[in-house]
Amino acid sequence: MLKSKKKNRTKLILALDYKNISSALYILNNINPQDCKIKIGLEMFIRFGPKFVQKVQNLGFDVFLDLKFFDIPNTVAKAVKSSADLGVWMISLHAIGGEIMLQAAKNAIEIFKKDSPILIAVTILTSFNDKSLSNLNFNNSIRSYVLNLSRIAKDCGMDGIVCPGTEVLNIKKNIGLDLKLITPGIRTPNYTKDDQKQTITLKQAKEYGINYIVIGRPITASTNPLTILRKILKKL
């Protein structure tokens, strides 16, 4: 049954990370599409493909297709265009792909005009810290690295960026308020960090004025995901 499609103003993006469709549909069929948007990442997209994206959209949810494109400009442009053809709400790609790649992606969706998906650039994964960068011979701090990639993303016409919550205030101070800020790595007090090194709490996310927060495992790995989801919505 198709759920009614209304303008969704929620800040919460639920990262739908499951090995099977039934677990995902259990959550989707028991929540209101107005309560959260849905992130479909690599695992579920590879397992179930574009048809699953369309199934989620047919239930009334806005879909953030989080495949983090990073390749030569022509390939990324075509991948972004193909994603936009699915009617998704938001698409991610890596800012480290550089100006030509980012601009090619932006140009690829101009034909959609008002229906263009939001295009966001990932600055750095929240599983990284300064030591991780140093091991790759990146000698700048995460703060400097994220700020530089944020400037590049803004100059290339990206609608927003994905960044650690710890860097949000610094970006607002130095880059301005034009970019939408999307932050993963949100952790509830009783949940471990897992492989996340750059995390913030729900309270901090609210105080920092982040546009969209992405929460996955604290909800999906819970024994009672619907209860946890409703508690998070109440706090937001």
Contacts of 138 (CB under 8 A, 6+ apart): 145
**Taking the CA of residue 45 as centre, how many other CA atoms within 13 Å lie in the half-sphere pointing to its CB?**
17
Distance, CA of 180 to chain centre: 11
Catalytic: which of 3, 68, 81, 180?
68
Residue 67 structure tokens: 């495949």
Instruction: State yes or no: is 68 an active-site residue.
Output: yes
Strand partners of residue 15: 39
| Closest to 56 in 3D by CA, of 130, 99, 5 | 5
Which residue type sits at 170?
N
- Helices and strands (H and E) in the chain: how many: 10, 8
Do residues 216 and 17 lie in contact, with contact meaning Cβ atoms separated by under 8 Å? yes
What is the 3-class SS of 175-206, one letter each residue? HCCCCEEEECCECCCCCCCCCCCCCECHHHHH
* Neighbour-count burial for 97-120, b at 16+ CB within 10 Å, e otherwise: beeebbbbbbebbeeeeeeebbbb
Give catalytic residue positions. Answer: 68
